[in-house]
Chain A
Amino acid sequence: MNNYSGVKTFLSGVLAAGFIALAATGAAAMSTADCVECHGDKSIVQQGGGYLYINPDRYRQLPHGDLACTDCHADISDDHPGGNVRPPRANCGNCHEQVKSEYAQSIHADNATCTDCHDPHRVEAFGAASGFDENRTCEKCHDWTDMVEIHSKWLQQTDLHLSSLLCVTCHTNSKDYIITFYIARINRGVSVPLRVRPVGLKTLARYQASVKTSHLIDLNGDGIISFGELRRFIRRAERYGLDLWGMMTPAEPNHSMVVLENRKDCAFCHTTGSRYLQTSFVALPDNLGDYRRIPVQKGAALDTVFGTPDFYIIGVTRSKALSIAGIVITTCGLIMPVVHGMFRIATIRKRRRARNEAP
């Protein structure tokens, strides 16, 4: 409460200054620059108004960055922040009509609004976060330990599965799936349930201080990570104490938020999954605190990269060569009985005669 009063006093002061400025210039409508003057001032944070602070540099680079404040807060009064009246909340559905109608039919609709999951001033395009961070959004309401317990009723090795999947991989009806990797610190220890946290920019900068972080993997800087570059990174990563963690991710997530019974059929991923493994990305942190996805060369990266010690989808990422080797070994076990059996049949009479003649 005290904090809020502090913010109120501060904003009232700013408002008074604003009024004087407006009176002097004769301006009538509030512009983005006016908003940023207060909401882009970091001192709000120190006064306990962290939720009011918007980093203007970062905001401009976000998908909403082209919008003026009044595009969403259209009804804001020129008196703001005077009168202690909070500006009306933005109606996301004005622009995201399809998402709104899709979400309205979901089981989530009665429990969370858009802003409960997405901060409209920090909203990023899907993929601008590591898989771990994407799931953190869901964890605001769905406690990780509870989710492990609930899913363990039917899902084997639950925490391993939940660490390798985005929640929306199963809880939206995406048509296609991809693999996204992020860099994590190697954790050789045992931690149950398993959590694989991505390493931040500061950690990565220690290994690649002189050039862009992306060059840590994309060695030639062509914007595409080849299988060779991926293999080289994995070999070097261990020296750095780093590792790649892969997650199965919807290619185009939506807001259907459903409980799909066919996802409980393991065959959905473990049989048909191979066709989803042809597109992969590595998500690397950038200096804005977001992640940028760098595409990996088209093809089954997981099949090519033998060195991802943690990521394996049984039934899908098997080695073809070793599958054939195994079948050959098994077949060899049949050769002896078949060949010996044929000679055995051919010599039945001879053996019977020899037995009868034996003393």
Chain B
Amino acid sequence: MRRRERVYLTPVPVRIWHWLNVLCILALCITGAEIRFPATVRVLGSYNAAVRLHNDVGVVFICSYALWFVYYAFIARNLIRLYVPTADDIRKGMLQQILYYCYQYFKGEPNPFQVSPNHKFNALQKTAYAAIMLVFTPLVTLTGVLLLDVVPLRTMVLALGGMRFLIEVHWLLACVFCAFLFTHVYLATLGHTPFAYFRPMLNGWEDVNDD
């Protein structure tokens, strides 16, 4: 039986950001679906309420993203180390993790990646988070801001292809977020217990193998 050690992995600002983000993304997905398919999706009942909530939550989401970015880039100063995959991650780490999730996991073999405060994410996580946080989030935020109030930002809206183009790009990016959300939540259940990876997001501490 492996021995486990507790490691303080997720500081308070990151946890606040994470759960704020959870609420925002859930609200944005639900209201976004209602805005896109008003005849089919009726959660809030009023279209006006759906649009207003989507816009307001969108602003909170942007603030939450700013909190995350400022914390990692300027306070903790480990944004690149934590989130940007290294050449070694791409060459070896990703393949190793894919092999683990698709084969070794089912054989009950241990995760080849050992978590530590300075290496919180495996190569696959790094790549996915880098794409989500450094590419998709800025893009979905930019298109969302431009659609928030079209008239004052009309010059930019037209320069970037017009309302229709931006709305469709915003929609597709939101769908990528939604797809990521399902996979992200599922992978979070792959710890030594189904809730092992949820705990650090609640109290900051994670049990890691002591070997």
Chain A interface (Cβ within 8 Å of chain B)?
154, 156-157, 159-160, 188-194, 264-267, 270-272, 306-312, 314-315, 317-319, 322-323, 325-327, 329-334, 336-337, 340-341, 343-344, 347, 350-356, 358
Residues from chain A with a CB closer than 8 A to the CB of B108 are 347, 350-355, 358
Minimum CB–CB distance from B159 to chain A (whole Å) comes to 7
Residues from chain A with a CB closer than 8 A to the CB of B159 are 188
* 17 A-B pairs (CB sep. < 8 Å): A157-B150, A188-B154, A190-B155, A266-B51, A271-B38, A308-B164, A312-B162, A322-B171, A326-B174, A330-B179, A333-B179, A334-B179, A340-B101, A347-B106, A347-B108, A350-B106, A350-B107
Residues from chain A with a CB closer than 8 A to the CB of B155 are 188-190
| Known contacts A266-B51, A330-B178, A354 near B172 by CB under 8 Å | no
Which of B19-27, B62-70, B89-97, B180-188 is the contact stretch?
B180-188
CB of B154 within 8 A of CB of A190, answer: yes
Per the bound structure, the CA–CA distance linking A74 and B132 in Å amounts to 77
For B35, B52, B150, B168, which residue has the most chain A Cβ atoms within 10 angstroms?
B168
For A157, A192, A325, which residue has the most chain B Cβ atoms within 10 angstroms?
A157
B50 and chain A: residue at smallest CB distance: A266
Residues from chain A with a CB closer than 8 A to the CB of B182 are 330, 333-334, 336-337
Given A157-B151, A315-B38, 18 further pairs, Cβ under 8 A = A156-B52, A189-B155, A190-B152, A271-B38, A272-B39, A307-B162, A312-B163, A314-B51, A314-B167, A322-B168, A332-B179, A333-B181, A336-B183, A337-B182, A337-B186, A351-B108, A354-B108, A355-B1
Within 8 A of A (CB), among B119-178: 149-155, 157-159, 161-165, 167-168, 171-172, 174-176, 178
Per the bound structure, the CA–CA distance linking A357 and B8 in Å amounts to 28
CB of B179 within 8 A of CB of A310, answer: no
B203 in the interface, Cβ–Cβ < 8 Å? no
Interface pairs A-B: 7 shortest CB-CB: A309-B162, A354-B108, A333-B179, A337-B186, A351-B108, A326-B175, A266-B47
For A160, A188, A326, A347, which residue has the most chain B Cβ atoms within 10 angstroms?
A326
CB of B150 within 8 A of CB of A160, answer: yes
| Known contacts A270-B47, A271-B47, A322-B171, A329 near B179 by CB under 8 Å | yes
- Choose one: B37, B110, B149; the contact of A315 (CB below 8 Å): B37
Please give the number of chain B residues whose Cβ is less than 8 angstroms from any Cβ of chain A in the complex.
50
- Choose one: B37, B51, B157; the contact of A156 (CB below 8 Å): B51
Chain B interface (Cβ within 8 Å of chain A)?
1-2, 35-39, 46-48, 51-52, 55, 101, 105-110, 149-155, 157-159, 161-165, 167-168, 171-172, 174-176, 178-183, 185-186
Residues from chain B with a CB closer than 8 A to the CB of A194 are 151, 154
Residues from chain A with a CB closer than 8 A to the CB of B149 are 157
- Choose one: B2, B158, B186; the contact of A341 (CB below 8 Å): B186
Residues from chain A with a CB closer than 8 A to the CB of B178 are 329-330, 333
Per the bound structure, the CA–CA distance linking A353 and B37 in Å amounts to 48
Per the bound structure, the CA–CA distance linking A205 and B156 in Å amounts to 30
CB of B47 within 8 A of CB of A325, answer: no
Minimum CB–CB distance from B30 to chain A (whole Å) comes to 13
- Choose one: B109, B163, B167, B183; the contact of A333 (CB below 8 Å): B183
Minimum CB–CB distance from A158 to chain B (whole Å) comes to 9
| Known contacts A315-B38, A333-B179, A326 near B171 by CB under 8 Å | yes
- Choose one: A314, A344, A356; the contact of B106 (CB below 8 Å): A344
For A159, A317, A333, which residue has the most chain B Cβ atoms within 10 angstroms?
A333
CB of B48 within 8 A of CB of A333, answer: no
Residues from chain B with a CB closer than 8 A to the CB of A318 are 36, 167-168, 171
Residues from chain B with a CB closer than 8 A to the CB of A354 are 107-109
CB of B1 within 8 A of CB of A265, answer: no
Minimum CB–CB distance from B183 to chain A (whole Å) comes to 5
- Choose one: B46, B171, B181; the contact of A265 (CB below 8 Å): B46
For A192, A314, A317, which residue has the most chain B Cβ atoms within 10 angstroms?
A314
Per the bound structure, the CA–CA distance linking A265 and B149 in Å amounts to 19
CB of B47 within 8 A of CB of A312, answer: no
- Choose one: B106, B109, B153, B172; the contact of A322 (CB below 8 Å): B172
- Choose one: B39, B109, B154, B161; the contact of A271 (CB below 8 Å): B39
Residues from chain B with a CB closer than 8 A to the CB of A309 are 157-158, 161-165
